[in-house]
Amino acid sequence: MADNAPANPPGNAAPVTELTADDKTGGSFRFTPRGQPVIIGVNRVGLLALYMKEVRRFLKVQTQTIWAPAFTTLLFLVIFTVALGREGREVLGVPFASFVAPGLIVMAMMQNAFANSSFSLLSGKMQGTIIDLLMPPLSSGELMAGILAAAVTRAILVGCTVALAMALWPGVSLGAAHPWAVAWFGLMGALLLATAGLATSIWAEKFDHNAAITNFIIAPLSLLSGTFYVIENLHGVFQTISRLNPFFYVISGFRYGFLGASDIGGADHVVAAGLGLLVLNAVLAAGVYAVLRSGWKLKS
């Protein structure tokens, strides 16, 4: 193999920019010049490897990550239907069970998207294996995209499992009046919580920090977002507070996709809410990307 010569040798010798070596077949191949990147554009192989790693991680314990959330959400449906849905009570023109089911589905999706992405970097920091994520030739954007895509995948699997369980439950009708709203608000909700979970994973230094965000921020915002009621039943002040909660728009928009009605308003208001969630996700993602690229609490 040729010696590794400097880029600018002294004298009149021509600079060596490429190295060659013989392979086992008698041919030759060229090394990339020093300082020139080997991977140009998106590292598709590395991105796919990271995505598959994250997906296989939660599928390896799918009883805990997929089936347990579906069972817990189904219990919510049973309890609240028995407690509040007696005597044929209707909300937004449909039985109470059909009203509450979409909100429970997307709430489970969001919580599991957060749980998945909030564990990714934190577990590496706690176990001392964070180098396995930082050393591969992945840019900050690719690292972020792989983690978020896996979190959204888990959210979709949980949502489909919960929807299947609820569709088999007596008194629940899950016919989609506007499939685009189901897909859009489900995706926006999963991305919102996946991005928030990644931010938590960067900030947290121990699992207690992660649990604090889950218990004191995520859970209250989920339960106080109109999942089990319409905000018209609240006092004016609490209606205003509810409308400041982004979870409210995710759940109401997702419910609109199934029922064709929501407490956001008409179709124009639902579309505006969907665009607002897109802007919120973009701003949050830009902030998380900047923090991830800086290496804060990861490389220092």
Q: With CA atoms as reference, report the closest residue to 161 among 89, 254, 66.
A: 66
Q: pLDDT tens digits for 79-94?
A: 888 877 666 788 888 8
Q: Could you give the CA distance from residue 293 to residue 143 in angstroms, rounded to a whole number?
A: 10
> Taking the mean position of all CA atoms in its chain, how far away is CA 23?
45
Q: Could you give the CA distance from residue 113 to residue 259 in angstroms, rounded to a whole number?
A: 24
pLDDT of residue 244: 93
pLDDT of residue 167: 87
Q: pLDDT tens digits for 164-187?
A: 999 888 878 888 899 999 999 999
Does 283 have pLDDT greater than 90? yes
The share of the chain scoring above pLDDT 70, in percent, equals 86
Q: pLDDT tens digits for 24-82?
A: 555 555 666 776 667 778 899 999 999 999 999 999 999 999 999 999 999 988 888 88
DSSP label of 170: T
The residues near 51 (Cβ < 8 Å, ≥ 6 apart) are 146, 149, 150, 153
Distances 291 to 6, 179, 297 between C-alpha atoms, Å: 37, 35, 9
**Higher-scoring residue by pLDDT: 10, 128:** 128
Confidence (pTM): 0.85
Q: pLDDT tens digits for 238-250?
A: 888 889 999 999 9
Distances 116 to 14, 38, 58, 148, 229 between C-alpha atoms, Å: 54, 32, 8, 9, 28
Adjacent-strand bridge partners of 90 = 95
Does 103 have pLDDT greater than 60? yes
Q: Average pLDDT of the chain?
A: 87
Token digits for 111? 């919580």
Helix (H, G, I), strand (E, B) or coil at 30: strand
Q: Could you give the CA distance from residue 235 to residue 67 in angstroms, rounded to a whole number?
A: 37
